[in-house]
Amino acid sequence: MIGLDTNVLLRYLMQDDPVQSSRATELIEGRLTEDNPGFLSIVAVAEIAWVLKRAYRLTDAQIVAALERMVEADVLVIENTQEVITATALLKAGRGAFADALIGARGAKAGCARTATFDKGALRLPGFAPV
């Protein structure tokens, strides 16, 4: 298994740099396999969603499509996959931001009764409560 940094997945997903995108594609499609997959940490996944929203200005539907593509890829192992799936579903349903949904999902898995927040947007998500 090989760890993948955020920028490698972004180059692969966005195909926006001729040299780096080509190298990322060759790695992901050419060298990674189910027996030798690429690993995406939960931090990298959150960062990918954030960069797609802020830097690339993708819509939530486009971000959901990118996240679902990553989750479904046989050559990628994603840390905390279930929480990523939960957060992606909440983003798809228009319930809130991906990172907030991921924070809530991770807290729930850890046994938190709720996640305290000042963020009015996060309060639309399950498991969040005002401070």
Above 90 in pLDDT, residue 64? yes
Task: Judge whether 73 lies within some domain.
Answer: yes
> How many folded domains does the chain comprise?
1
Instruction: State percent of the chain over pLDDT 70.
Output: 100
Domain limits for position 17: 2-79
Task: Judge whether 30 lies within some domain.
Answer: yes
Angle at 17 between CA 3 and CA 9, to 5 degrees: 25
Q: For residue 69, what pLDDT is reported?
A: 96
Task: Judge whether 38 lies within some domain.
Answer: yes
Q: For the whole model, what pTM was predicted?
A: 0.91
Task: Judge whether 69 lies within some domain.
Answer: yes
Task: Judge whether 97 lies within some domain.
Answer: no
Band (pLDDT 50/70/90 cuts) for residue 113 is very high
Report how far residue 51's alpha carbon sits from residue 124's, in angstroms, rounded to the nearest whole number: 22
Task: Judge whether 22 lies within some domain.
Answer: yes
Task: Judge whether 18 lies within some domain.
Answer: yes
| CB of 106 closer than 8 Å to CB of 79 | no
Task: Judge whether 75 lies within some domain.
Answer: yes
Rounded to an integer, the average pLDDT of 104-112 is 95
Band (pLDDT 50/70/90 cuts) for residue 54 is very high
Band (pLDDT 50/70/90 cuts) for residue 29 is very high
Output the CA–CA distances (angstroms, integers) from residue 86 to 57, 70, 104, 106, in the order listed. 22, 14, 10, 10
Band (pLDDT 50/70/90 cuts) for residue 95 is confident
